[in-house]
Chains A and B, each alone.
Chain A
Amino acid sequence: MHGNSDNILSAIRVEKGFPGTKALDKVDFHLRRGEVHALLGENGAGKSTLIKCLTGAYRRDGGSILLDGAEVDPRDTFDAQRLGIGTVYQEVNLLPNLTVAENLFLGRQPCRFGMTDTRTMNRKARELLAEYELDLDVTRDLASYSVAIQQVVAIARAVDLSGKVLILDEPTASLDAHEVAMLFRIVRRLKARGLGIIFITHFLEQVYEISDRITVLRNGQLVGTRETAELDRRELIAMMIGRELAAEIQSRHTPADEGRLRYRFRNYGRRGRIDPFDLDVRAGEVVGIAGLLGSGRTETAEVLFGAYRADSGTAEIDGRAVELSSPRAAIRQKFGFCPEDRKTAGIVGDLSVRENIVLALQARRGWTRPISRAEQNRLADHYIRALDIRTADREKPIKLLSGGNQQKAILARWLATEPEFLILDEPTRGIDVGAHAEIVRLIESLREKGMSLIVISSEIEELVAYSTRVVVLRDRAHVAELSGDRITAHEIVEAIAAATQGRAS
């Protein structure tokens, strides 16, 4: 018998294959009663596949699953829920158009004479949510509440339905710090009630804050399960990516004035979006843009790219005045822009990896000069190899790729146009440590090839790693510029903080 009676859920030598890949290779996973167990790994490591096997969303090819010591074989997520395994996903899987109470009791509404007993249902819903410190009007539509509240409602439903194991798949991705604290209070309380909780996230701080043990997967295989308290962050990252990211992150700063001055923006801005700013960018330079959310980071990028036409100031390239009136005009000047929200503004989900990669290049050439299929294949294969995009083949619809690989495909799209000035807005958001390191490395290598880059990021450590200069924004204005030795996390935080204080006064 594997495992001991402390384990509420055990996966033993679970296997799952997809055409061309082995997504899970004899993975063991044990969840104890009353613990928070973090499940970590790179994109495509097999976390989601393991979860889907546990919840019956996928049928496993081999291995067994023990719940409370008895072998179970959930046919689908509904079946898993009935057995006691509940799941809450990042995208809240509830119905926004139903009331809170209906969401909690859908499929098991209290009935009298064949009619739903709404009053009893609402009372039960209020009682249930009271255990989660929530006092809501349960007759309102779920959509009228914030994502954090919806998330708690989803947890309340999952726990109420299943009650043994709770799987939280990236529950904090769209929450702010205050909301995360609220969620963690609830998780701790559920843990005290003896639930086993599986927690998936890419925020390592949260892993250390909430979890008791950590299991790391890599390329579909189990790397190991460790006590969180005995595993330091560096070692954890090494387990996750199999190489020392820490070394990668320690970058040397090239002096900022090394390259030739190429791009010169003077008094550039647009009323209502970003105050006029001056910006010089040299060849072979990465200008990092730091600031709080809403400080004008994305607006800066959009004005530079012509997505919103500047209404003041001038732009010069190599001393020659240019008009960046639209993205098309900017692309003609060899500009490229990877927007922040890749789902809505970046990828075209149903098109293949190849089609997504050639999209921008084709747009620049115009539809009358199609890129031959052979050329498209060559380009796609080149970038799939060069950027290590993990896909079974180039014709796979891009929506089937993991977040990090989608991000790399979008980068490839712009690299295919051979830009000289590339703007990246949050290139590492929502992707995990391994893909993260690769994108940081990619930014470095592009810079070394002499490209000029503007990179917007909320991750200050990351900006420190690759920027040759950092511009700090506040209240839709550029307020500070750091270069050379002054680019440290401490200095950037100070600059943002000083700026924020300035705003308060």
Chain B
Amino acid sequence: MKQKYLPLTATILIFVLSYALCVGQYPNMLSTRVIGNLLTDNAFLGIAAVGMTFVILSGGIDLSVGAVIAFAGVFLAVVLEQGGVHPLVAFAMVLAITTAFGALMGAIIHYLEMPAFIVTLAGMFLARGMAFVLSIDSIPIKHPFYATLKGLYYKLPGGGRITLIGGVMLLVFAFGILVAHRTRFGTNVYALGGGTATAKLMGVPVASTTVGIYALSGLLAGLAGIVFSLYTSAGYSLAAVGVELDAITAVVIGGTLLTGGSGFVAGTLVGILIQGLIQTYITFDGTLSSWWTKILIGLLLFAFILLQKGIIRISRGDRQHV
């Protein structure tokens, strides 16, 4: 097997194994209800993590994601409840704003040659601050269209439901997989992760690719914000704190190299599902503190970093000669 599939395989194995263990203890966890809820509960995180996957594949990082989600939620709440705009128009506005915001960060990163870390950190404060400017309260969204959207679902055999937002997440993953592996833009993202200087020499349009990557991350963070606002039916400026870190975790557990250039969008989905599974298990158990989620994910993350180190070391000694 090719080495680049190793982390992904390990992730899938871990997911299947831990799911089997969970089912062994609580047979009810095998139901489609659990699977449906897993998708619904993690939809906003999954969508944001697809954008994060592109950013990390290119060798960057986007710390603004959680703040952008919160901003989108508050913006929607304010515009819908006080502005009287139709939700679809509001959605389009949110996506336009967050995409432009991401593109701006990408442009600063590229043209001012600033580290992504610091630029998106500034973006994080900016987006969170803007959310506070709009409102410091948690604003419930009571628009009837929201109720309609929340009522949409696809019924699975066994009583489970794929809700609208769960379905959107799956679509976003399908879209992400296509873009990453079947378009020139996707190859360019991997190329940047392999080395910006070399990619530039090979004719990769570094500027437009970098701007595109952060714009995509902004767009998906905005979409995650919409999904989050549908999920919670509210906008609150203190919501989604630390979601960017959860997204990074999902990406890394999904087998993407944190230094860029190697990994799969599909892996991130499995990374999301593993995190969700741990959460679900703790809910089922009922006695464990929810902090165990964090502890387990921390250990898992650490194990994956070690695995990646090991693979890099092995692949160095395994070159083919003529």
Contact = CB atoms under 8 A, between A and B. Distances in A.
B200 to A, nearest CB: 9
Interface string B194-216: 11001101111000000000000
A97 interface: yes
A93 B319 contact: no
B193 interface: yes
Contacts of A107: 184, 202-204
A138 B191 CA distance: 16
Interface string A89-129: 00001111110001100110101001110100000000000
A141 interface: yes
A95 B194 contact: yes
B284 to A, nearest CB: 40
Contact of B199 (A95, A134, A182): A95
B259 to A, nearest CB: 10
B198 A94 contact: yes
Nearest to A118: B182
B198 A98 contact: no
A78 interface: yes
A149 interface: yes
Given A93-B198, A95-B195, A106-B187, A146 B204 contact: no
Given A93-B202, A98-B194, A141 B4 contact: yes
B118 interface: no
Contacts, number: 79
Given A96-B194, A98-B191, A149-B322, A144 B202 contact: no
B182 A97 contact: no
Contact of B182 (A103, A116, A145): A116
Interface residues of B, number: 30
Contacts of A118: 182
Scoring B187, B190, B199 by chain A CB atoms within 10 A of each residue's CB, the highest score goes to: B187
Scoring B178, B193, B194 by chain A CB atoms within 10 A of each residue's CB, the highest score goes to: B194
A149 B202 contact: no
Contacts of B261: 95, 97
A118 B181 CA distance: 9
Contact of A115 (B3, B183, B262, B315): B183
A116 B315 contact: no
Contacts of B199: 95
Interface string A134-166: 100000110111101100000000000000000
A93 B186 CA distance: 20
Given A98-B194, A118-B182, A149-B321, A77 B201 contact: yes
A98 B187 contact: yes
Contacts of B181: 116
Interface in A311-350: none
A112 to B, nearest CB: 10
A148 B4 CA distance: 22
Given A143-B315, A146-B322, A95 B202 contact: yes
Contacts of B315: 143-144
A248 B178 CA distance: 64
A116 B177 CA distance: 13
A109 B203 contact: no
Nearest to A139: B2
Scoring A78, A97, A103, A141 by chain B CB atoms within 10 A of each residue's CB, the highest score goes to: A97
B185 to A, nearest CB: 10
A355 B3 CA distance: 42
A78 B199 CA distance: 11
Nearest to A82: B203
A109 B184 contact: yes
A93 B194 CA distance: 11
Contacts of B193: 97
A146 B201 CA distance: 21
A461 B180 CA distance: 54
A81 interface: yes
Contact of A114 (B183, B262, B318, B320): B183
Contacts of A115: 178, 182-183
Nearest to B261: A97
A179 interface: yes
A77 B186 CA distance: 23
A92 to B, nearest CB: 9
A146 B319 contact: yes
Contacts of A97: 190, 193-194, 261-262
7 contacts: A93-B201, A107-B204, A111-B184, A114-B183, A115-B182, A143-B319, A144-B315
Given A98-B187, A115-B182, A116-B187, 11 more contacts: A77-B201, A81-B203, A95-B191, A95-B198, A102-B187, A107-B203, A140-B2, A141-B4, A143-B319, A149-B321, A179-B322
Interface of B: 2-4, 178, 181-184, 186-188, 190-191, 193-195, 198-199, 201-204, 261-262, 315, 318-322
